[in-house]
Amino acid sequence: SDVYRAGVSGARPAVPTQPGALEEAARAALSPEAFAYIAGGAGAERTVAANRAAFARWQVWPRPLRDVSVRDLGARFLGVDRPTPLLLAPLGVMELAHPDADLAVARAAAAMGVPYVLSNQASVPMERVAGSVPEGARLFQLYWSASDELNASLLRRAEAAGAEAIVVTLDTHLLGWRTRDLDLGYLPFTRGMGIAQYTSDPVFRELVRARAGSSTGGSKVRVTPKTIAAGISIARNGAAVTGSPSLRGNLRSPLPRLAVETFLDVFSTPALTWDDLAKARTWTSLPLILKGIVHPDDAARAVDEGLDGVWVSNHGGRQIDQSVPTLDVLPAIVERVAGRVPVVFDSGVRGGADAFIALALGATMVALGRPYAYGLGIAGETGVREVIRNVLAELDVTLGLAGLTAVRDVDTAALRRTDG
């Protein structure tokens, strides 16, 4: 109702409430490369479309004449009562959308009481995000590196920086066939973007140093977060060489290339198996959630192996073209998990009615991806805040119009299945 009151009083929102208009406004605000990276999917983008189409197979039953004047969006997740069932999904390289990147997202999430999952590919080191938004509830997302020492270091840092849980993303052991990026010849990582968790990591810098030593025969390259960052920034922007002698040295040094090459080597491992996951327990005592689970058998195995949560996701359709849409498999996964661990849902959520449907089908929490990146691109922190507010406001309205007063009471009785 705050949203309506603000609207009718003439205050114009910073971002469109209509999902299609939100995407179009982001397209206008961002460079073609940045928009392509964020909006794009794998191949012919049939999974992106299928994620949306899956929602059309469900309809919400309106149920009037029940007193719904007091409504509660609260949800319990990882043993904590949360004000809402919304999460911000981990999105890498948000410097593409806005210079404040993850700092703006973390601030907006904290202001709205929504937990934020910091991506392994975030643009700001996790310690800086934690230091600047200490009140925010946050999780850290790990891409399982080919280097176990690096995995251990990243998880140690996440724990020290106050992460509540670790989300291990499993669907990116190979990078998807990203056609928009391929056609533009644009992959942000190769330009040194989205690798801040690595360049700020002592184990990673050791790996870069070893590579520098072997490629230049004991080079004098100084491998510190500052020199890597300065080198990358100069390489990326072609900045005028007006800085200190050490900056000028960096321009000639192979450091940015070495850091990016090292990153590309260790980013992930296609050899990862279920057996490896046990190692994570020796690196951290935080709860472990598996993201990228789409098959009910994998969900059941995750619970059997003692994992603490299952995150149903197909990476927003960015990995396999013509993948299984997540909403279609959510009910079977919820059935197999049988309430033993929380089930997070994402891929295709664009508004509060979508969130309502996923919750009715048994999701514990619903995560938002691209829409908040669009908000960030259009209006920075304010934009992210408004996108979150809009999803929650629509969820609240949908809840009440369906004759329900609490998110925890939402189940399949609120839905009608269509044949679509």
* Interface map 227-266 toward ligand FNR (x if CB under 6 A): ----------------------------------------
Q: Is 98 in the site for ligand FNR (CB under 6 A)?
A: no
Residue written as token pair 């969006």? 73
Query: Judged by CB under 6 A, does residue 118 bind ligand FNR?
Result: no
- Verify binding: residue 398, ligand FNR, rule CB under 6 A: no
CA neighbor of 258 nearest in space, from 231, 234, 220: 231
Q: Do the annotations mark residue 141 as ligand-binding? A: yes
Selected binder of ligand FNR within 347, 382, 390, 398 (CB under 6 A): 347
Q: Are 246 and 223 in contact (CB under 8 A)?
A: no
Q: Which amino acid is at 73?
A: L
Q: Which of 300, 368, 399, 410 binds ligand FNR (CB under 6 A)?
A: 368
Verify binding: residue 377, ligand FNR, rule CB under 6 A. no
Residue 121 lies near ligand FNR (rule: CB under 6 A): yes
Residue 315 annotated to the active site: yes
Least gap, CB of 1 to ligand FNR (angstroms): 26
Binding to ligand FNR by residue 47, rule CB under 6 A?
A: no
Site for ligand FNR in 269-298 (CB under 6 A): 291
To the question of whether residue 348 is assigned a binding role by annotation, the answer is: yes
Residue choice 45, 346, 381, 396 for contact with ligand FNR (CB under 6 A): 346
Is residue 319 near ligand FNR by the rule CB under 6 A?
Answer: no
* Cβ-based nearer residue to ligand FNR, 186 or 211: 186
Interface with ligand FNR includes 370 (CB under 6 A)? yes
Residue owning tokens 């629509």: 394
Q: Rounded distance, CA 296 to CA 274, Å? A: 15
Q: Provide the annotated active-site residues.
A: 315
